[in-house]
Amino acid sequence: MKHFVLIALGLALTMTRAAADPAGDFVQARQAAAGHLLTGTSVAGALRQPGSYSGHVVETTATVSGMISAGDDRTALLTIAGGESLALSVPANLRGASWLDSGAQVRVLLAATADDPALSSGFRLVAVASEGDIVAADAASARKAALLTASAKGGRGGSLASRSLPMRRGGRRAVVYFADTNPGHPAGALSARALTIYAPYRSLVRRWNRRLSDSDVDKITTSILYFSDRNNIDPRLPVAMIIAESDFDLYSTSHSGAMGLCQLMPENAREFRISNAYDPVQNIGAAVHMLRGHLDSYGGAPANAGLIPFNQIALTMAAYNAGPGAVRKYHGVPPYRETQRYIKKVASLYRQMCAGDMPQPVK
């Protein structure tokens, strides 16, 4: 039985048109591996001990760090998301693909075949496609599934459901979106504009906290982009805030009881009717909604999620960290050392990203 999945994968790839649709080939190979596919936290174990996972297929992201050509053969040097490096033979139908070159961000399917002495790495490269193409393909599939589900439920649409929540300011009401119980691939909720920037944001989240599972990286990235879109906020501000608050630690808890990625206080969780403050979707959704409220209080969010002036960032983050009451009391940023350090860190990270220099995690 352990070779069954490899035979099925071989048949799936043989049936596809050579190099015509790498993403389609990838999805078809993934479907053929159903029941034997390893993702998320299982990937690290398989990469360390492929012999224990013979007959299984690993799906993970990777960066092409180099290509070696020898006659008709082509070998890809891959750096896997977790930091592992592999040298793998490129399938014949992709050896002429111009997009498969050094620096490319890709999604790979690796068949664990440690019993094959010809494969020193313990893996065979079954399928590879551009990371962006797979994200888009999964998003399209999720949208289709959501429409079918909505039709079956009598018209309840979309992969995200909405709840109308009261805002304290002026009796105005706003809409905050929380995940449905079965949303499918989270990127299915993103707009076309958000999908175009998904890859670099996902890469930043992955690089900053390598302990996160692929599923959690997707949820965090999607939530940042989705809620920023909904609230018309430059997504670089929530990213900077999350780094300053928790370094993308899902289960971070402060001595004062602040919870999760965005360090929501218990009263915030109650206000937003959050069932699990450590759930990244609910946590980020409430925090970005709060950011938008603070931005409105101190000059309004720039049109089309444009760049946010430093003074507005300072007041917004002071209100988030110390509370709007403290900002009112001191007619500006309060003289709290912790709050001032926090503002400086968030503003510095935001400026780095605006300058095109993605911040690096502190070693």
Question: What is the per-residue pLDDT for 197?
Answer: 85
Q: Average pLDDT of 117-130?
A: 70
Confidence (pLDDT) at 34: 75
Are 198 and 152 spatial neighbours (Cβ–Cβ below 8 Å)? no
Q: What percent of the chain has pLDDT over 90?
A: 29
Find the mean pLDDT for residues 136-145. 70
Fold of 159-354: Lysozyme (1.10.530)
Q: Where are the domains of the chain?
A: 4-131, 159-354
Q: Look at strands 37-38 and 57-70 and give their pairing.
A: parallel
Residue numbers annotated as active site: 245
Class of domain 4-131: mainly beta
Q: 163: pLDDT confidence band, cut at 50, 70 and 90?
A: very low
Structure tokens at 333: 């940023």
The pLDDT tens digits of the residues spanning 76-103 come to 788 876 667 778 778 777 777 777 777 7
Band (pLDDT 50/70/90 cuts) for residue 108 is confident
Average pLDDT over residues 278-294: 92
Q: What local confidence, expressed as pLDDT, does residue 170 receive?
A: 36
Q: Is the pLDDT of residue 177 over 50?
A: no
Q: Where are the beta strands (DSSP E) in 47-204?
A: 57-70, 73-80, 85-89, 105-112, 123-130, 160-166, 173-179
Q: Of the ranges 140-149, 206-215, 261-270, 283-292, which one carries the lowest mean pLDDT score?
A: 140-149
**How far, in Å, CA of 215 to CA of 196, rounded?**
19
With cut-offs at 50, 70 and 90, classify the pLDDT of residue 42.
Answer: low
Closest-CA residue to 23 (of 137, 165, 159): 137
**Per-residue pLDDT tens digits for 304-313:** 667 888 999 9
In the 8-state DSSP scheme, what is residue 253? Answer: B
